[in-house]
Structure 1
Amino acid sequence: MGFPSVNETGFLIPNNDIQCSPTLANNKSQCNNATWRNATWNDYRSIPNINVEDPVRKDTIVVPYGGYSIIRIWATNPGVWFMHCHIDRHMVEGMALMLNESFENIGDLPIGLQTCHNFKNQPSAPKSFFQASEENISEMSSATIGLIVTSVILFLALVILSLILLRTCRKLGEPGQSMNLPMSSISGRE
């Protein structure tokens, strides 16, 4: 683990073992291309004081501000493992990564499973022919049933209104009935 140093006023000075960018100072870089400042450390056995014989076993590490931690994993449990900061804001801002321990042992995603996308808005995994057909059939059946029920209700309403109109017209057209109704029959007054 690399630790920061403290200046004479008590402020932390970030550790300089890691170079975040070949062209920018560490505090001006997002540290997306981190390398060892000392290139000989690319062979982990040459890092001073590294314990590769019996290192501490942990699943949580507190990394100090301006410091770093070197981790070693045993790749014996195939899967994709989530490493992240436990401060939510930090995790959302990118202090998280996925370790794919064994690409060759990871199976294909099930057809139709929704997947996350990159910023190019790639469509999700294509649906199989049978999934698409079943969904279309169920959508068509509900739409068809809805259309049939609505049509039957409208048809019955039209038939009822037609019968009422026909009865009224016949009643008014009978002999002795005047087609001109007196105002009293409309207003209810005599």
Structure 2
Amino acid sequence: MKRLSICSSWISVILLIVGFATGKAMAQAGDVVVHAATVDLTHFTGTEPVDQIDMTTTFTNNEFKELRHCEAADSLILHGVKVGVQQGLCGSATHITNMTIPFFKPLSSTLAVFEGLTIQKATADAVLHTLTRLPNTCGSYFVRIDAINVNLATVKRNPVAVTVTLPDGSSGCLAINNALIDQ
């Protein structure tokens, strides 16, 4: 009986430690959840940046779970969004090509657009759809970006990691294995 008591005490302690460690990691790493992404890129000959990319991504801002409120500074309409593409998996040491859409012009309560130069000087058209807000989140979004004059020379094969970064620096990443490259 004494062994059972000691064993159950140790199991309880281990479960508590694992629970706290997992909870902290999730709160820090889960501010942005990228649910889906598509990438279609074309390399052109010439001096970079000359490449073209058509991409989409669906993501959710989960900061509400951590902060218990949504920050006005995270408004994608006012402050835009940064989307990065890199060869490899999320967290790879490969070069990330960023496309920062500085703001969106609202067309309706759920639709906004951008046409012009990204912060990195690529020419881009972008569409932002605000999706139905899930409970305990700060919003879910679908973004489509078509850009030219992007330096994608380091992205030559799958997998491709897509990173979404909010205006406050919170980010999330998803690696995909079905990017269309030079097709």
What TM-score do you get using the length of structure 2 for normalisation? Answer: 0.20
What TM-score do you get using the length of structure 1 for normalisation? Answer: 0.19
Q: Per residue, is there more strand in 1 or in 2?
A: 2
